[in-house]
Amino acid sequence: MIEISVIIASVESAQSIERCIESVRAAVGSRSSELLVVDASRDASADIASRQLGTARVMRCAPGTLTPELWAKGIARSTGRVIALTTGHFAVEPTWVRSLESALEEGQIGAAGRIDLASETSVTDWAVFYLRYSEFLNEPEAMRRGVFGIPADNAAYDGDAIRRFVKTSDDGFWEVEFHRQLRAAGGSLAVVPGATAKYGRSFPLSTIARHRFHHGRHSGAWRVSRGERSPAMIAVAAPLVPFALASRVWRRVRMMPSHRGRFLRALPVFLPLATSWAIGEAVGAIGGAPASTRSSMAPA
């Protein structure tokens, strides 16, 4: 059996996919492995990946396909005992695979590492990074077991567990719902040192705004379906959401000089992206998720 399958979801990642693949290969080393790129780009990302991996290892999907849906297609095809997930915008450190695997060997069902910001990035990249990943900036000194959730963008899971989830879902791998089911079944998640992934050059602004809207729509529909909020509560709160998100990020980075300045410079982009999320959440709360995704809804 293959030891590890690495699934890279790629959306407009032509600027970073080559480095991503190289870093994953270095981290995998001599292990028995398979590396799959599942791409939904309008740029040359898939062509670049095919030159590195061969066309058999690159799955092409329609532009506009969301990252959780791309992961699910790769997971369904995978055969590894362990499945690691990332996106084409990340580069991982050489100890990435070993560190994530160590947590699974100690009984965790999923494990993730720290997420940091690469140096050769733009203001738009900064805005996306702080909106999505500021929660995961700190490196743990030792494995932290029993955490509530982990970022699938930099994570590894028990292969059988994640494949079972995907087989029962027609809506992709939305990690929040998987983590909820995992905890309910007595499973555990961890964050580990030595598995940092750095976020590099990423989406055009229009692409990430569109994706934030659709992810927000899933979140709104999911929260209503779980009874967490009423549609009216989500809709009324929507205008405040971008400022609440900005405040939360500021609390995390204000004592970190290298991030504090970049976050402040990114605010003019951060707030419109957060607004796209909030509008999507309100739409999802009132109108539900798209018909094809109603059966398995969860936020990103």
Strands (E) across 42-168 are located at: 58-60, 82-87, 90-92, 110-112, 115-117, 144-145, 155-158
Q: Mean per-residue pLDDT for 35-63?
A: 95
* Within-domain flag for 186: yes
DSSP string, 138-157: SPPSS-EES-S---GGGEEE
Distance CA 74, CA 85 (A): 9
Kindly report the average pLDDT of the chain as a whole number.
93
Asked if the model's pLDDT at residue 300 lies above 50, the reply is no
The predicted pLDDT at position 291 comes to 54
Instruction: Select from 174, 199, 224 the last residue of a domain.
Output: 199
> Nearest-CA neighbor of 158 among 131, 194, 185, 119?
185
Residue 171's pLDDT band (cuts 50, 70, 90): confident
The predicted pLDDT at position 293 comes to 40
User: Are 220 and 169 in a shared domain?
Assistant: no
User: Are 41 and 179 in a shared domain?
Assistant: yes
- Neighbouring C-beta atoms of residue 58, cutoff 10 Å: 22
Residue 294's pLDDT band (cuts 50, 70, 90): very low
User: Are 129 and 241 in a shared domain?
Assistant: no
Residue 280's pLDDT band (cuts 50, 70, 90): very high
> Nearest-CA neighbor of 209 among 112, 267, 279?
279
Distance CA 240, CA 237 (A): 6
User: Are 80 and 154 in a shared domain?
Assistant: yes
The predicted pLDDT at position 229 comes to 87
Instruction: Select from 143, 172, 199 the last residue of a domain.
Output: 199
Asked if the model's pLDDT at residue 290 lies above 80, the reply is no
Residue 289's pLDDT band (cuts 50, 70, 90): confident
User: Are 49 and 177 in a shared domain?
Assistant: yes
- Phi, psi angle pair for 108, to nearest 5°: -75, 145
Asked if the model's pLDDT at residue 296 lies above 80, the reply is no
Asked if the model's pLDDT at residue 233 lies above 60, the reply is yes
User: Are 179 and 222 in a shared domain?
Assistant: no
Token readout for 141 is: 């000194």
Tens-digit pLDDT profile for residues 108-156:
999 999 999 998 899 999 999 999 999 999 999 999 999 999 999 999 9
Asked if the model's pLDDT at residue 172 lies above 70, the reply is yes
> Nearest-CA neighbor of 266 among 122, 118, 134, 135?
122
CA angle (43, 121, 51) in 5-degree steps: 35
**Whole-model pTM?**
0.92
User: Are 179 and 210 in a shared domain?
Assistant: no
Structural domain boundaries, residue 192: 4-199
**How many folded domains does the chain comprise?**
2
